[in-house]
Amino acid sequence: MQRASDGLAGVVREVLRASSGSRPDGRVLLLVGSGNNGGDALYAGASLARELVPGGGAVTVVPAGRHLHDAGLAAARAAGATVDPLEPWCDPVATGERLAGYDVVLDGLVGTGTSGAPGLRGDALRVVRALLTSLPGRTTPTIVAVDVPSGIGTDDGSLPEPPLVLPADVTVTFGGHKAGLLVPPASLLAGRVVLVDIGLGPDLAAMPPAITTD
């Protein structure tokens, strides 16, 4: 998880630096679900909060899971990240007003650990529905997906019906490329894909590829 979050934070710094033209600066919104995917986002947020604005305020956490990664949340808070109440981020009007203050949104709602049909549920679905209403026509914030855009079919590239998935400008994926990032229609929502090495090379080399190309 440390390697994953370090790589994720590094990509966000690059995005912020590209938008500012100098040092990484700006405000980052973390959409955080349960499990390790949310933990990756929280640890990355902690790293960013320590450097963006000393004293806090540059990183905001929106909790959209029943059980957030405890240690990751504690690290983010200790670094100066603030935690917003969920409900305003489920309201399209309030979400549109709040988004204007952010440069990057990290989609850490759902990773590869879900089973069954693709798609978001519960609070994660409510947040994404509000964001999708607010984003059309905007050039900012930049959407960075954590491992995969939340809700896609990671094994087959499928999308839920209706396709309520937050389109990523950049997807930071860990260990190896997931099939859903390479196969349409889900691949069309992944944006630029950045692979972060987390030391899984020997294990992956022993596995048959899910996709082969000529």
Kindly state the tokens that stand for 103.
């440069």
**pLDDT at position 57, please?**
66
Query: pLDDT digit string (tens) for 187-198?
Result: 999 999 999 988
Alpha carbon of 201 to those of 205, 208, 213: distances in Å?
6, 13, 20
Residue type, 153: G
User: Per-residue pLDDT averaged across 71-97, rounded?
Assistant: 95
Query: pLDDT digit string (tens) for 11-67?
Result: 999 999 887 665 567 899 999 999 888 999 999 999 999 887 655 569 999 999 988
Whether pLDDT at 83 is above 60: yes
Domains of the chain: 2-205 (3.40.50.10260)
User: Three-state DSSP class for 1?
Assistant: coil
Q: For residues 10, 15, 19 and 23, what is the CA-based torsion angle, rounded to 10 degrees?
A: 0
Highest mean pLDDT among 63-67, 132-136, 169-173 belongs to 169-173
Q: Distance between CA 106 and CA 87 in Å, rounded?
A: 18
**pLDDT at position 136, please?**
83
Q: How confident is the model at residue 156 (pLDDT cuts 50, 70, 90)?
A: very high
DSSP letters of 77-93?
HHHT-EE--SGGGGSHH
Q: How confident is the model at residue 212 (pLDDT cuts 50, 70, 90)?
A: low
**pLDDT at position 125, please?**
95
3-state per-residue secondary structure call for 22-72? CCCCCCEEEEECCHHHHHHHHHHHHHHHHHHCCCCCCEEEEECCCCCCHHH
Identify which has the larger pLDDT, 214 or 196.
196
Average pLDDT of the chain is 88
| Contact call for residues 88 and 134 (beta carbons, < 8 A) | no
**pLDDT at position 56, please?**
55
Global pTM value: 0.89
Query: pLDDT digit string (tens) for 100-117?
Result: 889 999 999 987 765 557
